[in-house]
Amino acid sequence: MRTFIYSLCVIIAVSIPTAMYSQTGPTRRVVIAADKVLDGKGHVLKNTRIVVEGSKIVAIDPKAGPVDYDLRGLTVLPGWIDAHAHVTWSFGKDGKNVGAGETTQEAAYRSAANAWATLMAGFTTIQSVGSPTDLPLRDAIARGELVGPRILTAVDPLMGRGERTGTPEEIRAFIRKQKLAGADVIKIFASQSIRQGGGMTLSQEQLNAACDEAKKQGLRSLVHAYKEAVRAATLAGCTQVEHGTLATNDDLKLMSQKGTYLDPQAGLVIENYLLNKDRYLGTPGYTEEGFAAMTKILPMNHDLVQRASKIPGLKIVFGTDAVAGAHGHNAEEFIDRVRDGKVDPMTAMVSANSLGAEAMGLADKIGSIAPGLQADIIALDGDPLADITAVRRVLFVMKGGVVYKNVAHRRR
Ligand SMILES: [Zn+2]
């Protein structure tokens, strides 16, 4: 009986928050007035109103009223999607890099703080790639217990270690294990760190097995790949290439033909390492030689983004690779992409909206301002199409119909 009562309590505790305490309520109607809306697909809507009911957008109607949030004078757009972050990666008590694997109470609070900072910066969905510590954070946010972006996680990544990685059958078993552990996506390391030269760490056969098994399990595969590993991942039918540094134009054309997504980084991750050098130096994987290599890699990444954006049909998503120090500054990557990668601002926005959603298989749920989609809506002080630094000035954040930030009244 005690067990029965206990389980009943658990059921009630889990079901009440959404049923009774939801901040917007199941049917409350919210109207947002805006004079400039980027719809997430490359269009600009002028002088309109967005109608939200519960967690979803139900209409775009210039005549709707009464207005609950007046965002005229700002630029309104869908919440951004970061395809590649490491939200649980932080600096420890001594201020030094501790990576994403720490499971202390302090590390848990830091992860929650990173999630909060990311959402406040306008990112309503992120894909965190490569740590089991993402799981409890993802689930707490999904239950509405913690404030943060929607999180998709890869749990443990497949680390390429040459033959020691395992046979194709062992690799397939590893992929299935991640799915059972709750992975939303599979992360694969097919190259060494670029700081160590970026050589390939999986054979074509191993990569084929990994991405094929992911597909069989209904999961996407994201491959950390430089140089020749970019082509290998594309040939293996993997979903997306992360980083892609030193890919040739022929590799990029092949990706375009096969529909493989590219997730390059135009600057933030390296700028953040250089800015926080004393906090990283001497921690595992971060040496003086590595830092010297980074300053050389930065222009290579600018070059990659410039070349990639000229390849017809190549689908380039937005991923920051945010590690400790970069959470909440994810939007800096837009500025790098436009300023150093020579990408036009609208393309940069779409990469983190509808295209980012499409790459995650979530185009019918997020990434656009349209009826039927989640009400993930942000507003910027300024127009990013005219001045990309407006991405730093996020004044309003709504995720799933709930407003988490509204400082729009401070703008004048
Ligand atoms: Zn990464």
Question: Looking at this protein, which amino acid is placed at residue 324?
Answer: A
Residue 43: how many CB atoms within 10 A of its CB?
Answer: 12
- What is the spatial distance between Cα 348 and Cα 208, in angstroms, rounded to a whole number? 31
Per-residue pLDDT tens digits for 254-295: 999 999 999 999 999 999 999 999 999 999 999 999 999 999
Query: Are the C-beta atoms of residues 353 and 81 closer than 8 Å to each other?
Result: yes
Question: What pLDDT, on the 0 to 100 scale, is given for residue 123?
Answer: 98
Nearest to 352 by CA among 121, 71, 87: 121
pLDDT band at 26 (very low <50, low <70, confident <90, very high): low
CA 321 / ligand 1 centre spacing (Å): 5
Task: Return the ∠ at Cα 328 (arms to 83 and 130), rounded to 5°.
Answer: 40
Residue 411 has phi, psi (to 5 degrees) of: -75, -15
CA 131 / ligand 1 centre spacing (Å): 10
pLDDT higher than 60, residue 24? no
Residue 250: how many CB atoms within 10 A of its CB?
Answer: 10
CA 269 / ligand 1 centre spacing (Å): 9
CA 319 / ligand 1 centre spacing (Å): 9
- What is the spatial distance between Cα 174 and Cα 384, in angstroms, rounded to a whole number? 43
- What is the spatial distance between Cα 223 and Cα 54, in angstroms, rounded to a whole number? 36
End-to-end CA distance of the chain: 61
Q: Is 89 helix (H, G, I), strand (E, B) or coil?
A: coil
CA 236 / ligand 1 centre spacing (Å): 21
CA 49 / ligand 1 centre spacing (Å): 38
CA 386 / ligand 1 centre spacing (Å): 30
CA 90 / ligand 1 centre spacing (Å): 13
Query: Are the C-beta atoms of residues 87 and 327 closer than 8 Å to each other?
Result: yes
CA 243 / ligand 1 centre spacing (Å): 8
CA 289 / ligand 1 centre spacing (Å): 20
- What is the spatial distance between Cα 134 and Cα 143, in angstroms, rounded to a whole number? 14
- What is the spatial distance between Cα 234 and Cα 254, in angstroms, rounded to a whole number? 7
Query: Are the C-beta atoms of residues 41 and 353 closer than 8 Å to each other?
Result: yes
CA 129 / ligand 1 centre spacing (Å): 7
CA 44 / ligand 1 centre spacing (Å): 32
- What is the spatial distance between Cα 315 and Cα 49, in angstroms, rounded to a whole number? 31
CA 406 / ligand 1 centre spacing (Å): 31
- Of 14-23, 175-184, 219-228, 258-267, the range with the lowest mean pLDDT is 14-23
Query: Are the C-beta atoms of residues 354 and 117 closer than 8 Å to each other?
Result: no
pLDDT band at 4 (very low <50, low <70, confident <90, very high): very low
User: Is the pTM of the predicted complex or chain greater than 0.75?
Assistant: yes
CA 85 / ligand 1 centre spacing (Å): 6
- What is the spatial distance between Cα 84 and Cα 240, in angstroms, rounded to a whole number? 11
- What is the spatial distance between Cα 360 and Cα 153, in angstroms, rounded to a whole number? 11
CA 224 / ligand 1 centre spacing (Å): 8
